[in-house]
Structure 1
């Protein structure tokens, strides 16, 4: 049933044409925002389409469009992730919790109506606590950008109109968790203390830091996933990947996986930590306007291959994932391994990819270990994404 107020109609997304309108809306709303980076439309369509995104194998969702005078003026998603709900409430879950995301709107009244409609759908599914924005998996684009609107997002990070913060809070939502990204000038050596820690680790015969072998992609992915699932298992909002999601993410991320940008740390021959770094794909696709065809694909492939060099030349690297097995997390060794991996990848990023800066994160605001590591290497918080909650 449609909701009508102030000339705005809210209706569910039903057809492929509706999904296309859902994807296309930000291209109009953010057309004059110099920091916004157009997503690849085919990829964006895949993320919201059941049967393509394996998220829907353990979740249900409904998308909504807002229209005024026949023109789309807003969008939102409402979803329930049944891999999320078993988590304790203090970890973000709960059997009666649900999420909304993909919020975009021309004005506050449209945003209010969209959020209200998402809440109505969630209530109808038995939800009593809404969290958002989460678009739609915690692994996709969680949180509303509340700091850093002047900087373009890095690959797989979101960008929002700065007005949305006030609109969401006016709808009765309060902060539940902040996620930070940290910016780092990687052309400068690390502080002397960190350099000494790295050199000390290099003298320890028990430690080996190795690059991954992309020709053994599945084997290396399994090692990294095992560390990730252990290292992140107590984190707020952590939802383990399913096998289908691993395959989906692997296919999507494989073009930006490079051997020298992913490290595995071994202790006495056992893989105990990893660090993954991606070239900022957004720099390479920003001028494609979301279109891969007819020529966008050729341009992107050429840039990913760095012309004939085989390595893309990008200003920014993103560190999306890093983890150390729980049994080591309270030890000095954990930070030593982290510093060693960061330093090795820093050197290669500068030497082989022409990079000058890195963005680390997102990192939960209360992840003291990772935030301390970021501070120790002279990083600074450049963006904050906020997840809100509201009792329904």
Structure 2
């Protein structure tokens, strides 16, 4: 079988279209796969439209058998990731592969080998994957939770991939977990007491973001994020070009009562971003806004009603992370957003994450509000000889 498979670089618009289209065939019978908007995927892999490429480079590859596309992969490196401490997961010599899809195990093996070859040619001595493309986008392979659809900005993968990747010599290096909970129910009494105590503290202000000051609010959140996450595994600081691109994409689903900033003595020290699950609206569109998908999406965005709310990011400045104040601020923001999500958007389910498996503070918060792990994404690593 392998002698009939060829791997070649993506070289033109037709190749890029084939690269984008492949998952629509591989997952056509999977009820839990959410077809991404093809225009969004095209923007993600276009260096002119994805700010991540301001500090990164990569190559896309296609696998073909008998003239038909049967697999795809990206190989890429991030110059900022190369400067990070190796003890935090990346650092010198760390290269990546991602956007991985394959029809069978032979195709998977050859694709991974070709990505490794590209990384070696670039001087990398480790391959980390899947990471598609940035650690801030869709890192990790889904290994638990195939039985329900992913929320916005989360991945979904065929169960066979785990065995194929591990057979290629990859070892698990980090798990990323998402937690789900019923947000129609009040939180446990201990959490309610902590929230009420915070409300009596004149030093604390929890406020909604002001969308009319979008750039200023984004700058505040970015500063907290880059400080709060700086010691985490896999951390790579977000740059302004990335923030600009993310802002354009997310602004339509930014709602002021779903994003909170916590201030202590007048200083912003924590934030929480919550997004209505856009996947609920785009799943029926089949990846295209034409002919009438754009109208349906715009109508939904006017006043979304979403079953699920996702919390993709939250953070507390590093100097407070070992204090009781950190969890108090987190519980207050979670509660205020929970109320708004139920009252204004008809939501009944929340999803928090991803959360690193060794992030004890966030794991403790998730468990205290009685949420449970619903999806696990595994990141793998291999030493390149």
Q: Which residue of 2 aligns with 1:183?
A: 180
Matches within 5 A, 1:1-392: 5-305=2-302, 311-392=303-384
Q: TM-score, normalised by structure 1?
A: 0.97
4+ long deviations beyond 2 Å:
none
What SS class does the counterpart of residue 297 from structure 1 fall into? helix
Q: CA deviation at 1:124?
A: 0.8
Q: CA deviation at 1:293?
A: 2.1
Write the distance in 1 (CA, Å) between the matches of 2:148 and 2:79: 34
- What's the CA shift string for 1:235-277, capped at 9, x where partnerless? 1111111111111010000011000000011111111100000
Q: CA deviation at 1:94?
A: 2.1
Q: CA deviation at 1:50?
A: 1.5
Q: CA deviation at 1:49?
A: 1.1
Q: CA deviation at 1:294?
A: 2.4
Unaligned stretches of 5+ in structure 1? 306-310
Write the distance in 1 (CA, Å) between the matches of 2:378 and 2:362: 18
Aligned residues: 384
Q: CA deviation at 1:292?
A: 1.1
Write the distance in 2 (CA, Å) between the matches of 1:288 and 1:140: 22
Write the distance in 1 (CA, Å) between the matches of 2:310 and 2:230: 22
Write the distance in 1 (CA, Å) between the matches of 2:223 and 2:216: 11
- Cα-Cα RMSD: 0.8
Write the distance in 2 (CA, Å) between the matches of 1:243 and 1:265: 22
Q: TM-score, normalised by structure 2?
A: 0.99
Q: Which residue of 2 aligns with 1:308?
A: none
User: 2:270·2:314 contact (CA, 8 Å) conserved in 1?
Assistant: yes
Q: CA deviation at 1:54?
A: 1.5
Write the distance in 2 (CA, Å) between the matches of 1:202 and 1:5: 64
What SS class does the counterpart of residue 365 from structure 2 fall into? helix
Q: CA deviation at 1:10?
A: 0.6
Write the distance in 2 (CA, Å) between the matches of 1:144 and 1:85: 22
- What's the CA shift string for 1:171-192, capped at 9, x where partnerless? 0000010000000110110001
Write the distance in 1 (CA, Å) between the matches of 2:361 and 2:85: 22
User: 2:2·2:107 contact (CA, 8 Å) conserved in 1?
Assistant: no
What SS class does the counterpart of residue 6 from structure 1 fall into? helix
Write the distance in 2 (CA, Å) between the matches of 1:85 and 1:20: 31
Q: CA deviation at 1:87?
A: 1.0
Q: CA deviation at 1:324?
A: 0.3
Write the distance in 1 (CA, Å) between the matches of 2:339 and 2:47: 41
Write the distance in 1 (CA, Å) between the matches of 2:143 and 2:381: 15
User: 2:173·2:381 contact (CA, 8 Å) conserved in 1?
Assistant: yes
Write the distance in 1 (CA, Å) between the matches of 2:231 and 2:378: 20
Bigger CA drift: 92-101 or 324-333? 92-101
